[in-house]
Amino acid sequence: MHPERWGRRDSRRRLRAVVELRGDLVVLVPVADEHVDALKRIRRTREVRTRWGDVDIESDWPFDDPETIVYAVLLDGTIRGLVQYGEETTPSYRHASIDIFLDPAIHGRGIGRDAVRTLARHLIRDRGHHRLVIDPAADNEAAIRAYGAVGFRAVGVMREYERDADGAGWHDGLLMDLLADELLD
């Protein structure tokens, strides 16, 4: 499958999603310029900044990685977060990875679980992936529980995997994966 079939390049030469995805609670829409201010506001919250770092030092975020497909997470028509995926397309290693953040005001309500499940369903059914990965910080118990409720399983701890948001040190990550027949609907 060629990526252009599933996305389009916009004027900044980035690959963009062209489909809207509907979950039980959320709607995932391709991120557009008009979403950026709301997404940056969420990224600046203490809880999200702790995990995702300072958005203000990233010049073209969320359009900075041309290989990542980025969706705004809408809840009742309001932007409440971001979910994205990347694909490894080498045939022998083909899989997709997911990353997400949500406004702390809606944490603990199943919104993240629904957004991840909705994107996972798309990656398996529409994009043909047999395996997905996600890599929360090893101490992010709420995220780990949410991903487990979708069907992701812990694979192992990646020691000193990611730089701390303040740049002062490193923290462990938990590699989790999901096989297509393990997706919990």
80-138: per-residue pLDDT in tens?
999 999 999 999 999 999 999 999 999 999 999 999 999 999 999 999 999 999 999 99
On whether residue 165 sits in a domain, the answer given is no
On whether the pTM is more than 0.85, the answer is yes
Question: Mean pLDDT throughout 152-163?
Answer: 97
On whether residue 143 sits in a domain, the answer given is no
Question: Mean pLDDT throughout 27-47?
Answer: 97
Please give the pLDDT value at position 131: 98
On whether residue 176 sits in a domain, the answer given is no
On whether residue 15 sits in a domain, the answer given is yes
On whether residue 13 sits in a domain, the answer given is yes
On whether residue 173 sits in a domain, the answer given is no
How many other CB atoms sit within 10 Å of the CB of residue 4? 9
Question: Mean pLDDT throughout 59-65?
Answer: 93
Q: Report the number of distinct structural domains present in the chain.
A: 1
On whether residue 174 sits in a domain, the answer given is no
Are 62 and 53 within 8 A, CB to CB?
Answer: no
Q: Could you give the C-alpha distances from 151 to 128, 176, 180, 185, in angstroms and in order?
A: 17, 10, 9, 9
Domain range for 83 = 3-133
pLDDT exceeds cutoff 90 at 148? yes
Please give the pLDDT value at position 59: 87
CATH number of 98's domain = 3.40.630.30
> What is the Cα 162 distance to its own chain's centre?
16
